[in-house]
Amino acid sequence: MTEQGTFYQFPEGFLWGSSTSGPQSEGIEPGDGKGLNNWDYWFGIEPERFHGQIGPDVTSTFYKNYQTDIELLKETGHTIFRPSIQWSRLIPDGVGQVNPRAVEFYRDVFQQVNALGIKLLVNLYHFDLPYALQEKGGWESKETVWAYEAYARKCFELFGDLVDHWVTFNEPIVPVECGYLGSYHYPCKVDAKAAVAVAYHTQLASSLAVKACHELHPDHQISIVLNLTPAYPRSDSPEDQKAARIAELFQTKSFLDPSVLGAYPEELVAIIDEYGLRPDVTEEELAIIRENTVDFLGVNYYQPLRVQAPKVIFEEGDLLTTEHFFTSYDMPGKKINPHRGWEIYERGLYDIAMNLKKDYGNIVWLVTENGMGVEGEEAFKEDGYIQDDYRIEFIQDHLIELHRAIQEGANCKGYMLWTFIDCWSWLNAYKNRYGLVELDLSTQKRIIKKSGYWFKEVSQANGFSR
């Protein structure tokens, strides 16, 4: 204890930083050679689906302003940074020709980050499929798996001298849920069989990228980033418990088990078979998954998954959805971020850590996203900058749980926020701001928030007092 309370000291070498993604930060510039991706296309045909009818063309102008933005990484205490490469920028048609301007851009970004002594973790896929591949069936087709493998290899060849830590996919379950079981990502289908095929193909692609990375650069480390939300049942009743178990199988273990353990859980496979959802799976592909597990894991954590036994009554012929197996549970009295509508439950991070320790060989992992999206932050502006004490408190509360887990043996090596500069957020456009740095949309000016200065102090002290 100090006069200010407890000092939460993190282990030596613990990394502090943030994540962003190409489609949410780069923007499109005339003549940049970028091809259309699924988001550019969808915004073109249905702009009304996007908050304020604002699409992904401007975002936070990182493509234009990366040189000054990278300086801000240093000023906000980053020792690690996770950007993503946009497949549609590097290979505009998804396969074939490489865009030389993209190579130049990404090489320059990586060189500048390296020059500042900031560790790079580069993600290959953040919900952004080149539209040319989407048109041919997207992830429902195995063609996309082979195209992704070639794209990943190209990235390892082109940038492997500058980057040695990689991510195959960010939150691969999200496009499955939102694009094939719901209507929040293109192609907005409700088709359980397609959803299972998309999930399987994505996993196969990820395992092939792990294989390619290890073949080309045996000394590089590669991971997958998963949103590992624990499923908490509404009650101890066997029905609610079963619902939670199935929710976790679908939403967590569907990628966690094959990526880390090399195999799908038997109960998940049994459910898929029972409902006739098995895609075309070969023994050779299963061997690729078995033999190419990740070196470490990225974990994104925002909110827990609370579930109860299914509440919806289905009629013969109704489409099969997750509602057949579980219903989400709106727990009374929960703490909530009202802007995003997400529950805040810091303890979830501790539970994730203990689960990885117990059931996943205590694999090395990092928190790759955690953060608080807030609307109307200008209201908190005083003396020319945003005084976001609520964000500092949110981060501290999560770090305290993470610290407790590390004390108990969790193998977590870093904490990364979403995100460093306010950026464009899929369907919510600029509604909720997450950054350590404010982005003024009318002038494109960047102003460090109070949390940005605080985060630098935390990084320098490798801990904080509270």
Closest CB 265 distance from ligand BGP, rounded Å: 23
Closest residue to ligand BGP in the complex (CB): 425
* φ/ψ of residue 415, rounded to 5: -135, 120
Residue 464 structure tokens: 């904080």
The answer to the question of residue 428 lying near ligand BGP (CB under 6 A) is yes
Closest CB 106 distance from ligand BGP, rounded Å: 19
Give catalytic status of residue 3 as yes or no: no
**Interface stretch with ligand BGP, choices 42-50, 90-98, 406-414, 426-434 (CB under 6 A):** 426-434
Closest CB 335 distance from ligand BGP, rounded Å: 17
Closest CB 155 distance from ligand BGP, rounded Å: 19
The answer to the question of residue 426 lying near ligand BGP (CB under 6 A) is yes
Closest CB 129 distance from ligand BGP, rounded Å: 15
Catalytic position from the list 26, 177, 369, 377? 369
User: Binding-site residue total for ligand BGP (CB under 6 A)?
Assistant: 14
Q: Per CB under 6 A, which of residues 293..322 are in contact with ligand BGP?
A: 300
Closest CB 303 distance from ligand BGP, rounded Å: 10
432 vs 459, beta carbon nearer ligand BGP: 432
Using CB atoms within 10 A of its CB, is residue 18 exposed (0-12), middle (13-18) or buried (19+)?
buried
The answer to the question of residue 418 lying near ligand BGP (CB under 6 A) is yes
65 vs 300, beta carbon nearer ligand BGP: 300
**Interface stretch with ligand BGP, choices 242-250, 424-432, 438-446, 448-456 (CB under 6 A):** 424-432
- Distances in Å between the Cα of 263 and the Cα atoms of 267, 280, 281, 283 are 12, 16, 13, 12
Give catalytic status of residue 369 as yes or no: yes
140, 171, 257, 401: which one binds ligand BGP (CB under 6 A):
171
Residues 4-33 as x/- pattern, contact with ligand BGP by CB under 6 A: -----------------x--x---------
CA 353 – CA 301 distance, rounded (Å): 11
Catalytic position from the list 26, 149, 171, 438? 171
385 vs 426, beta carbon nearer ligand BGP: 426
Contacts with ligand BGP by CB under 6 A lie at 21, 24, 170-171, 227, 300, 340, 369, 373, 418, 425-426, 428, 432
Catalytic positions: 171, 369
